[in-house]
């Protein structure tokens, strides 16, 4: 049973550029959430997708956008990159119905903005 | 609003001694609570979860946590530390909104295990 997978593993971008990160959920899961983990901090919730729609959003600017595809995989897009966007981006998948709502995380994408 | 406070940023123990990582939560109703572990350069792994079925929750690798509503605490314990337990531990609360949930993480506790 494949777990959550993310690509790429590492990415280096320049300020002002745009980036797309990808996530495939654990088999059988229908909900994908994205988190940003800055160095030395706990992950911060960015947004959650279910049935191809954004259902919840954290305190992140509109530069952060996402998409969920019919096969439940997801993308995170960040426009106009800032140095402060350098972080580990984590994707998590879960099942919406039935609880107990635990989320399973992928290994993350390390984004460095120079 | 829901939040979690991890009372220690760093904990250091000797191998074979007990581990206690402390977590207090704030919630306006009965929460779902979790502990996750993150080893260096790795993703997050679920250790255990509380969902109101039982106040003492057993997880993987010998860890357990006790939900104490009167103290709003959810401390993580292990009777005997192993070198492989050295990692970052996160206490997490999950508020529900119409069936959708987000995870709210504490700041983390770094556990060091010495021989």
For chain A, 114 residues long, the average pLDDT of each consecutive 10-residue run is 90 98 94 95 95 94 97 97 97 79 90 98
Residues in chain B predicted with pLDDT less than 50, given as ranges, are none
Closest Cα in chain B to A46:
B102
- The tokens 């790429």 sit on which residue? A8
A100 touches chain B (CB under 8 A): yes
Contact B21, B81 (CB under 8 A): no
Digit-coded pLDDT (tens) for B52-62: 778 899 999 99
Q: Which pLDDT does position B90 carry in this prediction?
A: 98
Q: Which pLDDT does position A1 carry in this prediction?
A: 64
Residue A98 makes CB contacts below 8 A (sequence gap 6+) with none
Q: Which pLDDT does position B67 carry in this prediction?
A: 92
- Nearest alpha carbon to residue A90 among A49, A43, A31, A41: A43
Per the rule left: phi > 0, alpha: psi between -120 and 50, beta: everything else, A107 is alpha
Is A56's CB within 8 Å of B102's CB?
A: yes
Q: Which pLDDT does position A51 carry in this prediction?
A: 92
Q: Which two tokens stand for residue A33?
A: 């959430």
Q: Which two tokens stand for residue B48?
A: 């255990």
Q: Which pLDDT does position A97 carry in this prediction?
A: 74
A93 touches chain B (CB under 8 A): no
Closest CB from A45, A96, A100 relative to B99:
A96
Q: Which pLDDT does position B52 carry in this prediction?
A: 74
- Closest chain B C-alpha to A73 CA, distance in angstroms: 18
Can you give chain B as a three-state secondary structure string?
CCEEEECCCEEEEECCCCEEECEEEECCCCCEEEEEEECCCCCEEEEEEECCCCCEEECHHHCEEEEECCCCEEEEEECCCCHHHCEEEEEEEECEECCEECCEECCCEEEEEEC
């Amino acid at each position: 049973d494949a777990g959550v997978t993310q690509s790429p593993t590492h990415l280096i971008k320049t300020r002002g550029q745009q980036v797309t990160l990808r996530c495939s959920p654990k088999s059988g899961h229908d909900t994908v959430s994205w988190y940003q983990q800055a160095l030395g901090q706990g992950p911060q919730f960015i947004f959650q997708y279910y049935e191809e729609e954004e259902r919840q959003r954290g305190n992140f600017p509109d530069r952060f956008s996402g998409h969920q595809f019919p096969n439940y995989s997801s993308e995170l897009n960040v426009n106009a990159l800032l140095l402060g966007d350098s972080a580990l981006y984590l994707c998590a998948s879960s099942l919406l119905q039935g609880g107990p709502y635990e989320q399973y995380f992928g290994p993350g994408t390390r984004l460095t903005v120079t | 609003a829901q939040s979690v406070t991890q009372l220690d940023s760093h904990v250091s123990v000797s191998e074979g001694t007990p581990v206690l990582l402390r977590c207090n939560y704030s919630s306006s109703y009965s929460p779902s609570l979790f502990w996750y572990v993150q080893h260096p350069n790795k993703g997050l792994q679920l250790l255990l979860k509380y969902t109101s079925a039982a106040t003492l929750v057993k997880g993987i690798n010998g860890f357990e946590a006790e939900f104490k509503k009167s103290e709003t605490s959810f401390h993580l314990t292990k009777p005997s530390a192993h070198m492989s337990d050295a990692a970052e531990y996160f206490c997490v609360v999950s508020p529900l909104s119409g069936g959708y949930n987000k995870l709210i993480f504490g700041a983390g506790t770094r556990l060091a295990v010495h021989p």
